[in-house]
Structure 1
Amino acid sequence: MVDLVVRSRRAVTPDGERPAAVSVRAGKITAIDPYDAELTAVDDVDLGNVALLPGLVDTHVHVNEPGRTEWEGFASATRAAAAGGVTAIVDMPLNSLPPTVTAEALEIKQKAASGQIHVDVGFWGGAIPGNAGDLPALHAAGVYGFKAFLADSGVPEFPPLDADQLAEALAAVDAQFVIHAEDPGHLREAVSSPAYGQFLDSRPPEAEHAAVATAIAAAREAGARVHILHLSAATALPLIVAAKAEGLRVTAETCPHYLTLDAAEIPEGATEFKCCPPIRDSANRDQLWAALADGVITCVVSDHSPCTPDLKRQDSGDFAAAWGGIASVQLGLPVIWTAARTRGHSLADVVDWMARRPADLVGLTTKGRLAVGADADLVAFDPDDTFTVDPAALHHRNPVTPYAGKTLTGVVRTTWLRGRTVTGEAPQGRFLSRKDS
């Protein structure tokens, strides 16, 4: 007798898509049998042709609580994650007050999140000027690594590092560093305007290229692990290819908005499309897809970065004044699947980019895969059904999205966390820690 069996003719396992029956006991996957295997379970769910995926792992989420909980919060962010098939997130250290730059600040954030989380939650620490001495203790407290900005973060309590300060941080602790790679020397002040092109011109590809080069040089010098966050500019891809060929521990991610949106199609004043680095043109987008297919880019994560509607300046449509961030933790799976299927990619590819590889980035060996011994984090996903994005139906706190009105393919039917259905009512998530990985 097991607690749960979930059957699907389209189960996406590490060996590819196949018919299977997944058995669950005490929150773990205990067996993967043929679809029609005779099994005894408390609950036996037959999905038929609805796909069964492992829960997605989103390692780039800004929850903002405590301190800016009006922007987002653990209850709303994790409810949105579960509705989108995401069963584990790793929270970014900034936009909360205090930012997660000391072990004490991590404890404050965990206390704020306690009893609220609908999916499992881990944490990044932050590297800012002057806190290199705090990094070892923060790492020992269980964060998965450290985020650093090389340009202004947008909030005063999380200033950027220059090249020397980045080197100091890398030398302070043997940890994964995740880098917001834009070089301030190549950024220009955005002109106040409702025209997206004016904002785009202020953050040229050269800014990302130069910052990626800085991060790679620092990784080389320190022998450190460096991960390039939310890569937007395809011109930086050859630097990453060369770094990998050199044997450096350098990886990169991108986000659904860079893979699916086109600068030329952003309407005037549509500040819901503003993010940093910016959405670029379709030719650049095609190069990102090619890099993803080739394994140069390893992960697709949301960079869920919401704010209150007033900070998006939708009244004026001023791109220069608007907060830069896109809220998409609930929509990433259908957004990517809609585009990936038209480019000849499989559900197995999407699971690789959005579940297994992000889990591997932070060492979550029991997440992101349908495998015996893994956590029974499961998603029933109908890959053929469609829906139109209604902001009012989204669970994140402020219903602002650039995907409003878009028709997407792929609908999340049910999400299970360790074998239990996530309803969005009773929080059952747990804290994740590097110490337990």
Structure 2
Amino acid sequence: MTHTADLIVHADRAVVDGIEQPATVVVNAGRVAAVLTGPDTSGEIGWQATATVTLDADHVLLPGMVDTHVHVNEPGRTDWEGFATATRAALAGGTTTIVDMPLNSLPPTTTAAALETKRDAARPQVWVDVGFWGGAIPGNLDDLEKLDAAGVFGFKCFLADSGVPEFPPLAADELVTYLRRCAELDALLIVHAEDAATLAATPPTQSNRYTDFTASRPDAGEVTAIEAVIAAAEETGGRAHILHLSSAAALPAIRAARERGVRLTVETCPHYLTFTAETIRDGSTAHKCCPPIRSDANRSQLWEALADGTIDCVVSDHSPSTIDLKQGDLASAWGGVASVQLALSAVWTEARRRGHTLADVTGWMASAPADLVGLRQKGRIAVGADADLVAYSPDVETAVDAATLQHKSKLTAYQDLTLAGRADRIWLRGNEIGLDRSPTGTLLRHERTP
């Protein structure tokens, strides 16, 4: 018996079930209907499709990447970034799902009404699928349940100054209170983990040396804050996630907590895996981020922690601003790296140099972030999953030119770096999409499951 389908993709190389192998992927009604693996899958498979695509040996079929840490900033600071430009940048880099951070937009996503304002702004102009985080700030404890019911994927908080006045940090006792409320909701609390007291005790630098800027945001700031998150999670039973880990000095505490059963997950970012403080040009505000990029030895330890599973996933922390805010000196410039378009290629470039596979990278950047936020239908090529697919050329090398990037402000820490990998064809829920077409992304809600 022959079944009908919308699309069949044959690939000699595909990342399926955690390994690279030949596969034929059958797509119907936006979902993966069948996956056949092995060298003979391109023959008679019992399906007849409206369209058939056969990839050459230079391409690897991947699931679309899932980036759960993107600052879109619209509405309110749309001159920094917007849904159209951010999602076009994601698409160009092979990312088919993003989750938007609750701050830098005005209003911040700290109430259900603000969430609807943001959804209204996003709805007509997203090229990829988009979900939303809620915010946890002093005074909005009673808003968490309403935001959760409205479908946010969890709640973000800071333990130190966020950089914008409308999103203040939680104090130590508030962290426990908010994590307890999240535990009652079975919601995830994601934490910018730098300790305010440690930062306040560290003299701010007026130097433009990057290593001096790194020293002004010391490892101790991350370690102390992460220990506080661990203690709060242990006390409340809540689920906590450490954002953008930069300091390897926190890894022993993270490993010990997980061995004790603390509900803790951890991410890091492409810039921490690519750059080192010793080699960044002094005064390079494009590389300024908080927490900062640290030493080469620190970078190697982060890679080891990825390999052994201590760090769960890699996401961009795409945090752009207008170019004027990135000018000046390291002390005053806006802290953020714009990288959603380059994230996959940046990580793949360094990963292959260290002997990791494209399947490893796909796990860190597709399935693991999807699992983090409960998007089980994303980030994998599997029966029942959304047919978000990328035909990826892993060996193509390109010198980065900021002028060609899709995000709004044409500034990048990766300028002139040669990166490997290019997303050549992309399907979103079974439909081929591209920058020359109309936006077809949808807005995602977190659906509670029993």
The answer, yes or no, to whether TM exceeds 0.5 is: yes
What is the distance in 2 between the residues matched to 1:12 and 1:165?
43
In the other structure, the counterpart of 2:153 is: 144
In the other structure, the counterpart of 2:28 is: 25
8 Å CA contact 1:147–1:177 kept in 2: the answer is: yes
Q: CA deviation at 1:376?
A: 0.3
1:242 aligns with 2:253: no
Choose the corresponding residue for 1:133, options 142, 145, 148.
Answer: 142
Choose the corresponding residue for 2:323, options 309, 328, 341.
Answer: 309
What is the distance in 1 between the residues matched to 2:397 and 2:282?
28
In the other structure, the counterpart of 1:285 is: 299
What is the distance in 1 between the residues matched to 2:169 and 2:86?
26
What is the distance in 2 between the residues matched to 1:325 and 1:219?
28
Deviations 1:124-157 (CA, angstroms, capped at 9, x unpaired): 0000011111111111110011000000000000
What is the distance in 1 between the residues matched to 2:448 and 2:9?
27
1:13 aligns with 2:16: yes
In the other structure, the counterpart of 1:180 is: 192
Q: SS at 2:205's partner residue?
A: coil
What is the distance in 2 between the residues matched to 1:387 and 1:47?
21
Q: CA deviation at 1:13?
A: 0.5
Q: CA deviation at 1:339?
A: 0.6
Q: CA deviation at 1:111?
A: 0.5
Aligned length: 434
TM-score by length of 1: 0.97
8 Å CA contact 2:325–2:333 kept in 1: the answer is: yes
In the other structure, the counterpart of 2:438 is: 426
8 Å CA contact 1:192–1:321 kept in 2: the answer is: no
Greater CA drift, 391-400 or 182-191: 182-191
Identity percentage of aligned residues: 59
Q: Which runs of 5+ in 1 are unaligned?
A: none
1:254 aligns with 2:268: yes
Q: CA deviation at 1:385?
A: 1.3
In the other structure, the counterpart of 1:37 is: 43
8 Å CA contact 1:194–1:268 kept in 2: the answer is: yes
Deviations 1:302-342 (CA, angstroms, capped at 9, x unpaired): 000000000001xx3x0001000001001011111111111
What is the distance in 1 between the residues matched to 2:108 and 2:215?
30
8 Å CA contact 1:21–1:37 kept in 2: the answer is: no
Q: Which runs of 5+ in 2 are unaligned?
A: none
1:183/1:15 Cα in 2 relative to 1: closer, same or farther (>3 Å)? closer
Q: CA deviation at 1:198?
A: 2.3
What is the distance in 2 between the residues matched to 1:306 and 1:265?
22
Q: SS at 2:56's partner residue?
A: coil
8 Å CA contact 2:18–2:363 kept in 1: the answer is: no
8 Å CA contact 1:9–1:35 kept in 2: the answer is: no
8 Å CA contact 2:180–2:237 kept in 1: the answer is: no
Q: CA deviation at 1:189?
A: 4.7
Deviating 4+ runs (over 3 angstroms): none
**Structure 1 letter corresponding to 2:258:** K
What is the distance in 1 between the residues matched to 2:19 and 2:311?
20
Q: CA deviation at 1:32?
A: 1.4
TM-score by length of 2: 0.95
In the other structure, the counterpart of 1:190 is: 204
Q: SS at 1:283's partner residue?
A: helix
Deviations 1:361-413 (CA, angstroms, capped at 9, x unpaired): 00001000000110000001011111111111110011111111011111111
What is the distance in 1 between the residues matched to 2:380 and 2:17?
7
Root mean square deviation, CA, Å: 1.1
